[in-house]
């Protein structure tokens, strides 16, 4: 596990350096191609110093940056500082800041753009929406000058498991992902818009390869145009974050759309099903937890229990651990299902279940956002005002071996068949 993680991080640093510089070239090329306004420049060095100083206060930094890692952190900082002797675009700055942030294995920690070009009030205004394509914001958005019909034809010939291809972003429309002149760097361009806020030729994502199937992704918010950044996203089953290639059948990797966050089903005389979609502290979710727990706490009694944690992004152990006690007491054989969007306390709950005597883990690896957390969620604006840094403040360092790489299941499930049905078949095979 440690060897695999070291290899991933080494590759990550290489690509982060390479593509931060590439992003600068991309920004200049986009401006030339479109005649758009020159990207607003940022005194990124000030923000880099701010980030470095605040990172040192994080639990994850204190736990990890010791010995040779101190030198590594300093070397990355110096390299980035030398690349910031003059102002650079905000997009390039965001890539470079995340280069430093990635030295610490802490997927919860993030630095994001502060600027929202479209407010919630404007977005809800139907007149503003219908006129948005006439605004300076829309016209200044980065675009590409490619022949999109030719691009669509070429991309449609790519295999399903290739990163290049045609995708759907449900908030934007049909998206074409293609590799730029630099290997491993990709642009996601709107081929056909389904939104008043997007036009053909506009860039919706910038994607940079880390490993064979992991990518760092910069995404424009579907209407505010705020920059979102993910240090590491897995490409699987034609999916990358908000992008999904068209599937021939249902998307079995995701939890059933009809599921609420708390579900109980009696699937057969011997098997019950529990779906936990969230352990969050939202008032509505806490109320739903209390109602569900009181209703079913004495009903969980079958010899086989399917615990479905797909898309459970985590939350508070106060809402997961009560079920751990019930499941442990039941003595049932537990079949826990996860996917890539099982994260944080959802992952911790997975590990707790796996420690029980009769647990089988199925599905897909988890997200790898497990070893630290955000309790207060306090953000700190950078000196330029362009970014907000959200440091972690919770310590689950005992799970560090799973940070960034996730928890691997005992049994991988087929993307093309219903995951609960597959689990039932596995249960049936084990019955006497």
Question: What residues have CB less than 8 Å from 157, skipping those under 6 apart?
Answer: none
104-133 pLDDT, tens per residue?
999 999 999 998 999 999 999 999 999 999
Q: What is the pLDDT of residue 212?
A: 85
Cβ atoms of 332 and 362 within 8 Å: the answer is no
Cβ contacts of 163 within 8 Å, gap of 6 or more: 177, 179, 186, 207, 209, 215, 235, 240
Q: How many CB atoms lie within 10 A of CB 346?
A: 27
Q: Answer for the pair 203, 148: CB distance below 8 angstroms, yes or no.
A: no
User: Could you tell me where the DSSP H helices lie in 262-366?
Assistant: 283-296, 321-330, 345-354
| Confidence at 35, pLDDT banded by 50, 70, 90 | very low
Q: What is the pLDDT confidence band of residue 20, given thresholds at 50, 70 and 90? A: very low
Domains and CATH numbers, the chain: 2-244 (no CATH), 262-363+405-430 (3.90.226.10)
- Report the C-alpha gap between 194 and 309 in whole angstroms: 31
Residue 214 and residue 427: Cα distance in Å, rounded?
A: 32
| Mean pLDDT value across residues 63-67 | 96
pLDDT at 256: 87
Give the whole-angstrom CA distance, residue 109 versus residue 373. 8
Residue 25 has pLDDT above 60, yes or no: no
> 168-220: per-residue pLDDT in tens?
999 999 999 999 999 999 999 999 999 999 999 999 999 999 988 999 999 99
Residue 3 has pLDDT above 50, yes or no: no
Structure tokens at 136: 């300076």
Q: Is the pLDDT of residue 280 over 70?
A: yes
Half-sphere exposure of residue 332: CA atoms within 13 angstroms, side-chain side: 25
Contact 315, 349 (CB under 8 A): no
In tens, the pLDDT along 331-350 reads 999 999 999 999 999 999 99
Three-state DSSP state, 318: helix
Distances (CA, A) of 276 to 100, 314, 323, 413: 35, 10, 10, 19
Of the candidates 253, 251, 247, 250, which has an alpha carbon nearest to the alpha carbon of residue 166?
Answer: 247
Confidence check: pLDDT of 21 > 60? no
Per-residue confidence (pLDDT) for residue 128, from 0 to 100: 95
- pLDDT at residue 252 tops 90: yes
pLDDT at res. 284 = 96
pLDDT of 40 reads 77
Distance CA 379, CA 276 (A): 29
The reported pLDDT for the residue numbered 430 is: 83
pLDDT at position 306 over 50: yes
pTM for the predicted model, two decimal places: 0.88
Residue 4 above 70 pLDDT? no
H helices within 65-125, ranges in order? 68-82, 90-101, 120-124
Question: Given this model, what pLDDT does residue 39 score?
Answer: 58
Bridge partners of residue 236, in order along the sequence: 239
pLDDT at 29 over 80: no
């Amino acid at each position: 596990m440690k060897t695999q993680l070291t290899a991933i991080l080494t590759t990550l640093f290489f690509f982060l350096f390479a593509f931060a510089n590439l992003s600068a070239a991309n920004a200049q090329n986009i401006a030339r191609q479109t005649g758009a306004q020159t990207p607003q420049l940022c005194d990124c060095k000030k923000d880099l110093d701010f980030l470095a100083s605040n990172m040192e206060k994080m639990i994850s930094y204190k736990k990890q940056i010791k010995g040779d890692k101190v030198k590594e952190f300093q070397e990355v900082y110096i390299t980035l500082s030398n690349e910031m002797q003059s102002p650079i675009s905000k997009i390039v700055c965001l890539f470079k800041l995340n280069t430093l942030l990635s030295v610490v294995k802490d997927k919860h920690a993030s630095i994001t753009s502060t600027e929202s070009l479209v407010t919630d009030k404007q977005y809800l205004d139907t007149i503003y929406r219908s006129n948005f394509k006439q605004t300076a914001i829309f016209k200044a958005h980065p675009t590409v000058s490619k022949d999109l019909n030719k691009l669509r034809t070429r991309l449609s010939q790519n295999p399903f498991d290739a990163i290049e291809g045609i995708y759907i972003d449900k908030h934007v429309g049909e998206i074409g992902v293609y590799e730029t002149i630099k290997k491993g760097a990709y642009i996601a361009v709107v081929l056909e818009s389904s939104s008043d806020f997007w036009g053909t030729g506009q860039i919706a994502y910038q994607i940079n390869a880390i490993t064979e199937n992991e990518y760092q992704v910069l995404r424009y918010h579907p209407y505010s145009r705020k920059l979102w950044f993910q240090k590491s996203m897995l490409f699987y089953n034609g999916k990358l974050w908000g992008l999904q290639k068209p599937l021939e059948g249902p998307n079995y990797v995701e939890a059933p759309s009809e599921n609420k966050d708390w579900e109980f089903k009696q699937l057969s005389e011997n098997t019950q099903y529990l779906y936990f979609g969230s352990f969050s502290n939202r008032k509505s979710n806490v109320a739903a937890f209390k109602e569900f727990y009181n209703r079913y706490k004495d009903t969980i009694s079958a010899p086989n229990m399917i615990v479905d944690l797909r898309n459970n992004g985590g939350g508070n152990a106060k809402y997961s651990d009560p079920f751990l006690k019930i499941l442990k007491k039941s003595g049932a054989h537990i079949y826990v299902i996860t996917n890539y969007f099982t994260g944080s306390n959802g992952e911790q709950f997975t590990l707790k279940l796996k420690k029980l005597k009769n647990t089988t883990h199925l599905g897909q690896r988890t997200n790898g956002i497990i070893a630290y957390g955000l309790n207060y969620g306090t953000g700190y604006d950078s000196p330029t005002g362009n970014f907000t840094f959200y440091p972690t403040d919770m310590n689950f360092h005992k799970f560090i071996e799973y940070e960034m790489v996730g928890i691997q299941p005992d049994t991988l499930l087929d993307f093309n068949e219903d995951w609960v049905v597959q689990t039932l078949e596995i249960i049936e095979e084990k019955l006497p």
